[in-house]
Amino acid sequence: MNLKELVGIEAAKFVKDGMTVGLGTGSTAYYLVKELGRRVNEEGLKITGVVTSSKTEEQAKELGIPLKAIDEVDSVDLTIDGADEISADFQGIKGGGAALLFEKVVATYSKDCIWIVDESKMVDKLGKFPLPVEVVPFGGHNLFRLFEAKGYRPTWRKTEADELLTTDGGHYIIDLHLEVIEDPRALAKELDDYVGVVEHGLFIDMISRAIVGTPEGPKILE
Ligand code: 5RP
C-alpha cells in the first residue's frame, strides 16, 4: 500500500454515520473518497459528501456517495483534503490540483478539517512548493506583471496542450516561485488585497489535525 492510500484509509476512520463530509481533491484525497465509497456500499455508511472539485464529484458519483452542493448545507462536519506543504506550525499550501478556491470555501464552512499527506509534504517553512494564486482572467496579465515586478517569479498554470488552465470557477492560476515564505500570514493578507485575486493557496489556521504517511505507518499530528 502506498503512503497516500495509507493516509486516505486512515482518515476515513474519522468519518461516522450521519456526517456531512467535505471531500478533498487530488491523488491523496482520491484514496479517501475510494474508501468512503467502499464503506457506503459495503458497510451501509450513511454520509452526505460535499465535493471540492468537478474531478472529485465525478469520482464520488461513480461510487454512489450521496452528495449535496456547498450551498445546500449550512455547515460541513468534517473536511478531509490533501495538501502540498504543511509547515511545522500547521499552516499550509494547497492548490497543486488547481482546486484551491472550492477547497477553501468548503474548508471555511467546516467544523473540522484534516489534511492527509505523505511525509515529504511536511516542511520547516512554506514556499518551496509554488504558491498558486487564482485570478480573474480580466486583468490577470497585469497581476502577472505586478508579481514579476515584486520578484515573486510567477508562472502561468498551463494545460497539457500548453494553454492557460481554467479552474472549475472559470479563473486562471498564477504560481509564485517564492522558495521560502517567511511570514505566510502577511503574504496571505497582501494577496487578499489585490483586486482580481480570487483566492490563493495559503491556508492559514484552517486545520486541527494532519495525518502523515510514513513507512512506519500513519502518524496523527494535532
Ligand atoms: C488540489 C490540492 C491537493 O489537495 C494538493 O495539491 C495535494 O494533491 P496530491 O494529494 O495529489 O499530492 O490542493 O487543489
Give residue 96 CA to ligand 1 midpoint distance, Å: 5
The b/e string for 93-102 (b: 16+ C-beta within 10 A; e otherwise) is bbbbbbbbbb
Which of 10, 85, 103, 134 does the annotation list as catalytic?
103
What distance in Å separates the CA atoms of residue 61 and residue 162, rounded to the nearest whole number? Answer: 30
Around ligand 1, the residues with Cβ closer than 6 Å are 24-29, 81-84, 94-100, 103
Question: What is the rounded CA–CA span in Å between residue 3 and residue 131?
Answer: 24
| Distance from C-alpha of 30 to C-alpha of 217, rounded to nearest angstrom | 19
* pTM for the structure as a whole: 0.96
Over range 3-10, report the average pLDDT. 96
Q: How far, in Å, are 17, 37, 79, 83 from residue 47 at the CA level?
A: 6, 10, 12, 23
For the question of residue 103 being annotated catalytic, the response is yes
CA of 98 to the centre of ligand 1 (A): 8
Residue 107, pLDDT > 90, answer: yes
- For residue 21, the model assigns a pLDDT of 98
Instruction: Please state the φ and ψ torsions of residue 170, each to the nearest 5 degrees.
Output: 85, 25
- The atom number, within ligand 1, closest to the CA of 30 reads 10
The answer to whether ipTM exceeds 0.90 is: yes
- Of all atoms in ligand 1, which is nearest to the CA of residue 98? 14
Pocket mutation for ligand 1, best pick of 3, 4, 25, 91 (most atoms within 8 Å of C-beta): 25
* pLDDT value, residue 125: 96
pLDDT at position 144 is 98
**Letter for the amino acid at 134?**
E
Percentage of the chain lying above the pLDDT 90 cut: 97
Segment holding 214, helix H or strand E = strand 209-214
Q: Which residues are annotated as a binding site for substrate?
A: 25-28, 81-84, 94-97, 121
What is the pLDDT of the chain when averaged over all its residues?
Answer: 97
Kindly give the distance from the C-alpha atom of residue 71 to the centroid of ligand 1, in angstroms, as a whole number. 23
Q: State how far the alpha carbon of 24 is from the alpha carbons of 21, 65, 97, in Å.
A: 9, 14, 10
